[in-house]
Structure 1
């Protein structure tokens, strides 16, 4: 385990036009040094939600106050169901009401929904203003806050409207994970687990050995999981910022998972719950395509279960699953494309015969 207790670790994302840091540690919100990479401006807007605001907004306001003449706060409703145009417009309303200019800095203080909407607002307002990711959930710290993918949902498809727009800084304060509900922690573990099959089986072995410690929130285990996850995502994003090829492997389990989220109605299953189940389904598809054996599928299924995640898909019906997956972002010309494991530790994106996908759905979903 490479994380030094009490230290602030730094992972850099190197892109074609610039780089930015991901800072990982405990107590970072309170430390003015944590915010050194943030540009100074006349004003800032902290975008958060009604759950996170009472816990951390005053800490962040105090920490960044010396860099801005005015710091405004916007509290959004909490939950995936609010990742919509209507909620996004609340951010634009606040920016316009306060007379925000092109140097105004937005701070996304919360989980993946807050991060996605704040980033999309930053990409769009005056055609681009700076923003900072301050993720307070495990899922956001290991995945959604890193790499610049921002979006809102549409009733017909998840994350179908958005932009690639990179933050100035990602600040992962591990202390915020102490207030995370157990269900949200498990949801974040799905995005940790995915990095093993797609890139690093040594990390996967480590996750298996430490899954009980992760569920119990042992600080050293969580710190290592966040750091290694960010390292892998930074490596992939640095090679393919706009998902022209390699970056698609980060969507392992997401084609099935997004269909679950859309089919049930956003918020019925958490994103990580749908991804965890989706990884099991994608593993079964990988087996049928010859990439992994039955032992690998069973091993992954056990780990997802131990993380507290569902492994049986809801009974949407094969036709509904296929309909939803055809409008997934990775589809081409109506053909569904999946991230599958071609060998443990390596993933590819490819199509699969519809009859094979139906077999997987029949095997993996409730009757």
Structure 2
């Protein structure tokens, strides 16, 4: 016999999206239960994004989980694009009046977990056989197994924040769900190293040998990437080989400031663009990677998820506060309008900054022409900056 629990919103997934949603709803007096197939240590240990839009920072402030971010985060007024050694700075603050903040997703997740536990959030970690059910009825529910016990959560709404490989998106019938995907023919080899960053701002570089990114997690911890073949074996990439390749791709000026050292994390990540439509089916709402993936160029993944949550929390709060369902009814349309714009930006920047094996000499010249246009046009640089700091929610 299954144990039955009741809540207003059942959240599947306790990554930053699920945690942020549960906190924003809790601040409005809305009860939630959070389910995850992993445990907290695994979720906190995932190495992910590190550049937060101003809107994401605002969401964390509204959640009451931004104190450490403001102490330790690194505000950035701009970033650089490099093309075969030529560099062009995008002055975000001058062009848009906004900035971004470097603060690792791991740290953001820890802060939200601490806040949720302090507030008494109900979590079910290591859940198996999670199944959203009865999504188009008046009594949706989520069934799962926890510690050998069968549990059913009866709720008003379900938020699918369980990532690309989660169960939420698969709960939408195949004749309803449409997906759109672009798989890129390369990956990013990334490392973490306890060394000061090569520059106080990010550098995105296009070199004849491939893309490179110089980023950071703090003033003493650097995050670097180089474009690689998806078939590469991580064992073939020694630290020495990585540093040599990175220095070549960043160019002599940047390489002169590069401090190398032993990496303590190294991995290869594939790149894809992906969108699922619709993002609402009955009582189920999709948010974050459950509904869309962007290539990491431009640092949009975590920020796009946070924007979903801000829009979804607004919709649910309006429903419970005054019975206004306008934002619930328009959630999918509103979010997807923004999602496709962000997908466009990430695709465009990825196309500009990477070496594609299928590119002809003509297409390579087009990449160079686009860089030269950005370098010489304040209007073009402003358009890029507006996308980088984050588009409006609506």
Q: TM-score range by the shorter chain?
A: under 0.3
Larger strand share, 1 or 2: 2
Q: Larger relative CO (CA 8 A, sep 6+): 1 or 2?
A: 2
Larger helix share, 1 or 2: 1
TM-score (norm: length of structure 1): 0.27
TM-score (norm: length of structure 2): 0.25
Higher Cα Rg, which structure? 2
